[in-house]
Structure 1
Amino acid sequence: MWLKNPHDKFFKETFGDVTVTKDFLTNYLPESIMEMIDVNTLEPEKDRFINEKLKENFSDLLFKVNICGNEGYLYLS
């Protein structure tokens, strides 16, 4: 069986797990950035969006997270 986009599937399956994403961010982002991001507030967001022209778009991985005490988003591609 041939798998379409195996790297994309692996990426989404792996980093779709919030625990894995938290560990990755904590271990690979600079400390100065991690001081701004509260990884304990990391929440996955939906991956399909309808734009203003009513076309469906797909994101790779989008997470809502507190950044400097404000709601923000991290986009992993």
Structure 2
Amino acid sequence: MKKTLSHHDALFKKFLGDITIARNFLQIHLPEKLRQLYDFSTLAMESGSFIEPDLRSQCSDMLYSMKTIAGHDSYVYCVIEHQSRPEKLMAFRFLRYVVAAMQRHLEQGNDTLPV
């Protein structure tokens, strides 16, 4: 039986859906080298989810955009997923999510990929 994340999903989205909390969360948890690259005052939440429909009961995601200090577009993608055992293809699945986010970026009229 799959464990549902519906209440966890709501909590995750409420928590990280508050831009001030999300900014603080990212400033605490991103590695120092990355924190130095971002202009956190430009942090914005993006709409949509890239989790595959059959996994939405187990996963939740949030996508943020922000500028680098050099003025380039960038994204930070947060995913939470319940796993009872290691997933051999997790890196591949995550790559698919990131590619979907980049595809949407291009479909929105951008002609370069963000950092």
- TM value normalised by structure 2: 0.50
What is residue 31 of structure 1 aligned with on the other side?
32
Q: 1:34 deviation in Å? A: 0.1
- TM value normalised by structure 1: 0.72
Structure whose residues are more often helix by fraction = 2
Cα RMSD (Å): 2.3
Deviations 1:1-41 (A, max 9, x none): xx961111110110000100111111122211100111110
- C-alpha distance in structure 2 between counterparts of 1:4 and 1:24, whole Å: 21
Structure whose residues are more often strand by fraction = 1
Question: What is the total number of aligned residue pairs between the two structures?
Answer: 67
Q: Sequence identity, in percent?
A: 34
Q: Which blocks of at least 5 consecutive residues in structure 2 are unaligned?
A: 51-55, 80-115
Does residue 61 (structure 1) correspond to residue 62 (structure 2)? The answer is yes
Q: Which blocks of at least 5 consecutive residues in structure 1 are unaligned?
A: 50-57
